């Protein structure tokens, strides 16, 4: 390990099912946070939109009732929980920025309950069952890491995970780990082979961001079946499989596909120093030849 100071960070991850009752979801989230904090977690990551069902299965204007301003009820609740448990929390919310203007936003709380920073989901999906372009305006804050007492966090959200550009930009600005709150699952009508390919691809590409950038990746998904209120599709089987990978992309812990779980995993942040010495990918980037990355198509 040469002369590198060891930095250990116990990270708690919460893989839950959710109901249509916000108060119930919040209460269960708080119980898990209390448990993980008691067990020593200093950073706790929840999944995407963890105060509600995944409401994007249909386009319904009534669902805008689920949005909260920042600051507001949402931040008041998780601010208190962070302060009382003295943990850093990465939470996720449906942000009402103004009348008719909404985002899918991650909020990071400091151990004293203050807000360290927010990240507005930059890449917004839209496919059958995931009608996010109806609800969320694409983020306008760019790819900016958030400084906290436990490290510099590269917080991204779900669909962002398919974009190596997002991970790279976070790490080029000093993110020490990548964090992905997520809500992804299977169409129950798909074949088992197709389901395997989808889940494997989802794990593979997030591990690859660890490899390309020499940082750990924390990905937290919801779990369980949620029906499509419109009845048009067979609903979504959220595939869980929340995981943490180290800076060589190695899996450190991986949750099940179907169970509610909360886990602690200890990250050794000093390994990035070692890995980047041996795999100095940042040294050899051909920045003179990357300009066309900003084109839609060449």
Give the per-residue SS3 of 98-148: ECCEEEEEEEEECCCCCEEEEEECCCCCCECCECHHHHCCCCCCCCCCEEE
Closest CA relative to residue 160, chosen from 143, 136, 146: 143
Catalytic residue among 56, 121, 132, 171: 121
Of the residues 173, 227, 230, 266, which one makes contact with a copy of itself according to CB under 8 A? 173
Three-class secondary structure of residue 64 per DSSP: helix
Task: Determine the interface stretch with a copy of itself among 51-59, 93-101, 170-178, 219-227 (rule: CB under 8 A).
Answer: 170-178
**3/294 with CB nearer a copy of itself:** 294
Q: Is 211 in the site for a copy of itself (CB under 8 A)?
A: yes
Of the residues 197, 230, 259, 266, which one makes contact with a copy of itself according to CB under 8 A? 197
Q: Is 231 in the site for a copy of itself (CB under 8 A)?
A: no
Which of positions 2-61 make contact with a copy of itself (CB under 8 A)?
none
Structure tokens at 105: 């936003």
Q: Is 173 tagged catalytic?
A: no
Q: Is 142 in the site for a copy of itself (CB under 8 A)?
A: yes
Q: Give the whole-angstrom CA distance, residue 95 versus residue 158.
A: 16
Q: Is 192 in the site for a copy of itself (CB under 8 A)?
A: no
Three-class secondary structure of residue 95 per DSSP: strand
**62/284 with CB nearer a copy of itself:** 284
Catalytic residue among 56, 116, 158, 171: 158
Q: How far is the CB of 147 from a copy of itself (least distance, A)?
A: 14
Q: Is 121 tagged catalytic?
A: yes
Closest CA relative to residue 184, chosen from 196, 194, 205, 198: 198
Structure tokens at 140: 């306008």
Q: Is 119 in the site for a copy of itself (CB under 8 A)?
A: no
Phi, psi angle pair for 99, to nearest 5°: -55, 120
What does R_g of the chain's alpha carbons equal in angstroms?
Answer: 19
Pair 45, 181: CB distance under 8 Å: yes
Q: Is 159 in the site for a copy of itself (CB under 8 A)?
A: yes
Task: Determine the interface stretch with a copy of itself among 178-186, 218-226, 254-262, 288-296 (rule: CB under 8 A).
Answer: 288-296
Q: Return the active site residues.
A: 48, 121, 158
């Amino acid at each position: 390990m040469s002369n590198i100071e060891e930095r250990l960070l116990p990270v708690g991850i919460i893989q839950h099912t959710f109901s249509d009752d916000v108060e119930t979801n919040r209460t269960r989230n708080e119980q898990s946070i209390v448990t993980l904090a008691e067990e020593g977690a200093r950073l706790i990551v929840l999944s995407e939109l963890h105060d509600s069902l995944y409401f994007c299965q249909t386009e319904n204007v009534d669902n805008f009732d689920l949005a909260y301003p920042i600051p507001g009820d949402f931040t008041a609740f998780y601010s208190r929980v962070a302060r009382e448990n003295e943990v850093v929390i990465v939470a996720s919310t449906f942000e009402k920025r103004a009348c008719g203007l909404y985002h899918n936003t991650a909020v990071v709380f400091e151990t004293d309950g203050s807000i360290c920073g927010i990240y507005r989901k930059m890449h917004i999906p839209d496919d059958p069952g995931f009608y996010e372009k109806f609800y969320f305006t694409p983020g306008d804050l760019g790819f900016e890491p958030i400084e906290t007492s436990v490290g510099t966090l590269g917080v991204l959200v779900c669909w962002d995970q398919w974009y190596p550009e997002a991970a790279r930009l976070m790490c080029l600005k000093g993110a020490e780990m990548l964090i992905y709150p997520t809500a992804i699952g299977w169409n129950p009508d798909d074949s088992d082979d197709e389901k395997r390919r989808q889940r494997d691809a989802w794990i593979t590409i997030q591990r690859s961001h660890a490899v390309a950038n020499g940082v750990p990746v924390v990905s937290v998904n919801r779990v369980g079946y949620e029906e499509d209120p419109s009845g048009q599709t067979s609903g979504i089987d959220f595939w869980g499989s929340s995981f943490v990978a180290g800076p060589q992309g190695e899996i450190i812990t991986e949750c099940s596909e179907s169970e509610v779980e909360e886990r602690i995993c200890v990250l050794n942040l000093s390994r990035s120093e070692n890995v980047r010495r041996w795999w100095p990918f940042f040294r050899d980037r051909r920045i003179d030849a990357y300009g066309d990355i900003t084109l839609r198509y060449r």
